[in-house]
Structure 1
């Protein structure tokens, strides 16, 4: 599966680089059209123009533009490749996968319990040593993507996804903890996944439920709820760390 993704990724990189070249040369052609650019350059930068002719400046600008965009394309591609390697490593104490954020694939509808499961994992990471949650990947490391989540939102985009994440995070955990969490989106072949990176919080994070508040931690590759007595002992040790 991942070998196929790498082939697709190579194709996308080449395609994007070709597009960059076409855009760069298009800009070069536009600048080359007689539009008095050289006269403007001479009028405003006369002394500099004596040492650096306008045509040389054009070439320098074209080269700089190409380098910047190529670096952007390659860096973004490498970042997505790192996500692939992360997924290959499988779930562990600081890594968990969720098939979706809110869309129940089996029922074909939105399921609020799935949102609660995502927030439960995030809270557990904050109460432990931090961790990473990949949304759009199942337990068998299959890439499902977050397309169904997008379709279930009013704003069907990355912004809409992050806005909804922020809303449920604020209501279930609290907006004051949001600075410990960072979202990023990555393309794997024709699918898109969301990486949720969670830092260890400086104070305990509780998950708000209909029955009050619950306290979760990570134990191995699982998220565990602590009873009141267990949480008290855990929190006593927390302040000594």
Structure 2
């Protein structure tokens, strides 16, 4: 099951598109409402005797709103990645797995070099055609989870993980590129996995 986390940036595109959809709907409404021409044309119709122009205006507004909202949500659901299928497919040119962000499984302690490895992969995606990085999954497609990473942070949670990710990203890559990287968290039984989706940058 996928949890939607507004801070992760996963919900922002949907919210943005819904706001745009509302703007379009109200734009259509204002065009109709402020145009005397439309009102005069409507009064010539037979149905004007039974239904006022105001009712028609609000009916059109509601219909446009509903259509745009359905379109935006449907497109958002279609764009939602199937993380389970991605894991089963395995690594390829535009998908890599990392067991953790900072917890060294072999040494059983925090290892800053692992953070460098994660950021190096993200930088490579930024400098190419983009790609996805799955944190919490090893090379053999086994789900390790993020619980050890969580426990190693001052704030033992997804928010704490993302805050630390943001700090490391800003230091090693640069905050100006953060808008090109989207984090989302996914549940597999009792384990967390983080999907990092990277868009290509226009500058190295």
Which TM class, normalised by the smaller chain length?
A: 0.5 to 0.7
* 1:95-133 CA-partner distances (Å, limit 9, x unpaired): 000000000011110000000000000000000100000
TM-score by length of 1: 0.52
Q: Which residue of 1 aligns with 2:146?
A: 146
Residue 137 of structure 1 aligns with which residue?
137
- 2:120 is aligned to 120
Aligned residues: 129
Question: Which residue in the other structure is 1:98 paired with?
Answer: 98
Matching of residue 186 in structure 1 with residue 186 in structure 2: yes
State the alpha-carbon separation in 2 of the partners of residues 149 and 189 from structure 1. 17
Instruction: Give the aligned partner of residue 85 of structure 2.
Output: 85
Could you say which structure has the greater relative contact order, defined with CA pairs below 8 angstroms and 6 or more residues apart? 2
Q: Distance in 1 between matches of 2:173 and 2:195?
A: 19
Partners of 2:107 and 2:177 in 1: CA distance: 32
SS in 2 for 1:142: coil
1:156 aligns with 2:156: yes
Provide the C-alpha distance between the structure 1 equivalents of 2:202 and 2:179, rounded to a whole number of angstroms. Answer: 11
Residue correspondence of structure 1 range 21-100 to structure 2 within 5 A: 82-100=82-100
More strand by share: 1
| Runs of 4+ displaced beyond 6 Å | none
Show the counterpart of 2:10. none
Name the SS for the 1:124 alignment partner.
helix
In the alignment, structure 2 segments of 5+ residues that lack a partner are 2-72
TM-score by length of 2: 0.61
CA distance in 2, matches of 1:176, 1:183: 16
How far did residue 190 of structure 1 move? 1.6
Q: Secondary structure at the match of 2:169?
A: helix
Give ranges in structure 1 of 5+ residues lacking alignment.
Answer: 1-8, 10-70, 205-241
Question: What is the RMSD of the two structures over their aligned residues, measured on CA atoms?
Answer: 1.8
